[in-house]
Structure 1
């Protein structure tokens, strides 16, 4: 273990934490069956409580490997012969699993669900959290699929990441076993492996009396140099995709079990989880790290080759937290690294690569300076991310001088309750003189402020909407939706359009379309219809 000591020194780790504004970090790693752990900083900046290897973190998408393993256990279980990797989900969940197309409904399989091969876009803002009037459940998330547009036909494109599919996996588990996902996970994996500090949802950790061990999430606003501190969210609508609260020590046990094929993680299960299934999108394989192959998605993990050695890995990132867990099957080595800052993913990524170099005994003069490489990458990302520039570019793109422009819409005219069958209710209000949508009821809490760019009469549609001598009119208005997360700092600008149809009978119908999903065909919006008052 001496080879890893310089990398885990206080100076190396805490310098990185300071650079990326990460208050606390916990690391566990295993080498040839021997587990080592260390921790740095604090789990809460306000209380200054020390972070330890037993500190509980929200690990976000690192949860997916456990979900995939639970499905693999069912596939291997003779009591569930109907569940195979190639079974269409519509045969297992006939009333619930309906995709937008008949072909996708019939063809999407259990394996497709876990390797993001369904063609379904993310639609992360469609899921209603516990603060909503009607919070989503794994079953309601499954049943919403039929109303959500796909980004591509199933099995025909690069990986299209979908958190919902992992929540649907937990619904499948619950339907077939008559157990809650938490109970199934605990009985089939956590207890057999001795993982006594892993919980589904923060509430489970609190119910076990572990409140004082839970790390708080932290976001740092560089423009104001201020911190926002908060507890992990309760997210039943994201069960299976995230929602695991655990320690680096427990997750190192998980990694060690995958390496050693300890029951119930028999060889076939470990192999299934780490076998590549689909390429990642080209934009995610540009500028690959040195000596690294393009990554491929497996089941709950990605895999790539570094200097000829196979690495199996999955990261997690959610407001206030960043995490990574990985293993090298041929080297008996793996690690779990968790942090409680928005940019913790940068620190976990650097340390993961440093540990891999040490495990492979790469000579010092041949090692990459991963910290400097990440530093350059972060600078480039900051330079590229200019929200004001993006907004101005969108204003110029949306404004069309050839249109018959009219006076901007009166904001009061647009107010109301807008519905989409997949996304549910968006309430358009007036706040501080601006059109405002409060999305704090969502699994990813946020808000939208709408900015009008141009309003015009669509002359091309007037004739088709006219009945006899009674004219109809179609007014359209281009807006920019300024999307701001309630906890994080990464803002977005989204193309938005209103359509107001004034019928020949004088009645008006309002529709609002927002580009809430970037994976969809360019220009495709999610359309909401205003409820009649």
Structure 2
């Protein structure tokens, strides 16, 4: 079922758009950019787009999809397809709110640009000039990191998602970064990082004196007419027109979440908004993202930033030799400021991808042609990236790009990724030893600590604790606290049973099961985060954080005394006497 904004369903009148010249990375882009550009192909009709999208949604098994296209600087299409929630007559339309994941990063960079234009920041200010307590893994990097670095993916900190359920706010998160090892040397190459966009949010709040959502609303969204766009789950979920995320019903599925042929279920929204925005977490609609795209291609009547600021945000800063599938270009490219950029046929593509539990998003621009496309789905799917590549090819691409079977290319990628994952799991199973714990279970119990995750308590208990924590939106927010938009109680009970909770709620009832088991417990944002340990072999156990397996290996000395724990994602913990 197609639902459309009738005011924007017809192609806009054609209007020329001044060419935008993107600077930087001359050795990478200049030669191609200097070539004469071929004329843009005739655009597909709205009816062609409708037919393609509806077939694609069936192919990728997507419940609902939002789509916005800007062509020659004006809205060409703003619409929705499918349903907001499976099993309900709730059509998606141009005003339906979706969570856009890391497509939020461009908003983060734009709030920094706004502070620069206000004269409150400079791009080359040291971070410690504004946040004196900030530290990284070594003193030199701490001293030299500048504002420009934190939005260009070149610092080396990576993405410490395992910290999200354990910290109370952005400062708590950032204070733990000195305890992590860098992914690469500072400024030596591209390395995707959510951490530095967490820092972006904290920097904006520190310098502006207001929270990031309020600052983005005042400086960006209100001037652009994006009235319902937000970085807060509560108001989005209070809207009668928001999409529900969906996830694969099967628990502990280790393959790609976009895998088709597997039943889906609606799940609650999740995002640690007080920690990670604007690394992700912005929520918007097709109608409102249209205004964002018009601003970036230079045709919005009320731009919140100067054109030079926009062009700087599109300028290559960090070379990307092997682009990810969500990037709107072919071959080597670069990361700019909250955007990736590179050549897509005869045009320069600028864009980003986004992922959250039950949502995927893709945005791609060709500013020199006044073109933009945004697609989002309410399940994890490759379709937004397939759709943006197809649309770019049809509107501004070469004949070769228009002839590509984008569906098949992304389907092969999913199948190959699943093959590698499943083969690795088979090898892991084959290497498993038929040997029990080397010491009694009570010998593992105790308190352990490291600077990254804090205190870890291993308890031996017969209390009812689900083997699969209510994480990743299954029964509540992925940090183990109740979801903002809860599912009905009956659905929650069914989910608890599937998660292995024989009795009571997903957080445990405190009732005895008569069976002793080890449980790992961390201090969480609002309550302890608890995960049962399942014995694998010898002194190795597994615990499950939603659909993510975490290996737990206990370390013993020569006297068989347990001295520490090595835990996937969280590192080594030393036992506290």
Does TM, normalized by the shorter one, top 0.5? Answer: yes
- Residue 172 of structure 2 corresponds to 140
Question: What aligned pairs does 1:79-478 form with structure 2 within 5 A after superposition?
Answer: 80=120, 83-95=121-133, 97-128=134-165, 135-156=167-188, 158-206=189-237, 210-221=238-249, 225-235=262-272, 236-260=274-298, 262=300, 263-280=303-320, 282=322, 284=323, 292-343=330-381, 346-360=382-396, 362-363=398-399, 367-386=403-422, 389-394=423-428, 408-429=438-459, 435-437=518-520, 441=524, 449-454=533-538, 477=539
Shift of 1:54: 0.6
Residue pair 2:158, 2:193 contacting (<8 A) in 1 also: yes
- What do the CA deviations read for 1:369-391 (whole angstroms, capped 9, x no partner)? 111222222222222221xx424
C-alpha separation in 2, matches of 1:313 and 1:289: 6
* Aligned counterpart, 1:469: none
* TM-score for both structures, normalised by structure 2: 0.74
1:73 aligns with 2:129: no
**Equivalent residues of 1:481, 1:514 under 8 A apart:** no
Contact 2:101/2:354 (CA < 8 Å) preserved in 1?
yes
Distance change >3 Å, CA 280–CA 412, structure 1 → 2: farther
Distance 1:172 1:205 in 2: 25
Map 1:14-93; keep pairs closer than 5 Å: 14-35=54-75, 36-78=77-119, 80=120, 83-93=121-131
Q: Could you list the per-position Cα deviations for residues 74-113 of structure 1 after superposition, in whole angstroms to 9, with x for gaps in the alignment?
A: 12222x1xx2222221222112x11121111111111111
Residues of 2 paired with 1:375 and 1:530: CA distance? Answer: 46
Distance 1:372 1:127 in 2: 35
Structure 2: which 5+ residue stretches go unaligned? Answer: 1-10, 12-41, 254-260, 466-514
Within 1, Cα distance between the matches of 2:62 and 2:354? 15
Conserved 8 A contact 2:345-2:398? no
- From 547, 551, 566, the counterpart of 1:513: 566
CA separation of 1:18 and 1:424: change in aligned 2, threshold 3 A: farther
Q: Give deviations 1:117-142, integer Å, cap 9, x for gaps.
A: 111121210122xxx6xx42122222
Shift of the 357–376 alpha-carbon distance from structure 1 to 2, 3 Å rule, reads same
CA contact (8 A) 2:66 2:92 kept: yes
Q: What are the superposed Cα offsets for residues 34-81 of structure 1, whole Å, 9 maximum, x if unpaired?
A: 212121111111433111111101111111100100001112222x1x
SS at match of 2:43: helix
Kindly indicate whether the alpha-carbon contact (under 8 Å) linking 1:126 and 1:424 is maintained by their aligned counterparts in 2: no
How far apart, CA to CA, are the structure 2 residues paired with 1:395 and 1:497?
Answer: 16
Any idea what SS the aligned residue of 1:43 has? coil
Q: Is the 8 A contact 1:7 1:355 kept in 2?
A: no
Q: Secondary structure at the match of 1:44?
A: coil
**Pairwise CA distance, 1:10:** 4.0
Change (3 A) 1:439 1:328: farther
Matched, 1:498 2:498: no
Runs of 4+ in 1 over 6 A off after TM superposition: 287-291, 395-399
Residues 22 and 218, structure 1, Cα contact 8 Å, conserved in 2: no
Q: 8 Å contact 2:108–2:278 — kept in the other structure?
A: yes
Does structure 1 retain, via aligned residues, the 8 Å contact 2:131–2:203? yes
Aligned residue pairs total 469
Instruction: Report deviation, 1:145.
Output: 1.8
Q: Is the Cα–Cα contact under 8 Å of residues 327 and 351 in structure 2 kept in the other structure?
A: no
**TM-superposed deviation, 1:394:** 4.2
> Could you tell me how far 1:8 is from its partner in structure 2?
5.4
- Say what the alpha-carbon RMSD is for the aligned residues: 3.3
Structure 1 residues 31 and 290, CA gap change in structure 2 (3 angstroms):
closer
* Residues 1:509 and 1:71: Cα distance change in structure 2 (over 3 Å): same
Say which SS state the counterpart of residue 69 (structure 1) adopts. Answer: helix
Distance 1:257 1:353, change over 3 A: same
Deviation at 1:450, TM superposition (A): 4.6
Aligned-partner Cα distance in 2 for 1:140–1:220:
32
How far is the alpha carbon of 1:427 from its aligned partner? Answer: 4.1
Secondary structure of the corresponding residue to residue 127 of structure 1: helix
- Partner SS for 2:150: helix
Unaligned runs of 5+ residues in structure 1 are: 400-404, 455-476, 517-524
Tell whether the 8 Å contact from 1:104 to 1:153 is kept in structure 2 after alignment: no
Give 1:415 shift.
2.8
State the distance in 1 between where 2:332 and 2:567 align.
33
Q: Helix, strand or coil for the counterpart of 2:449?
A: strand
Q: CA deviation at 1:302?
A: 0.7
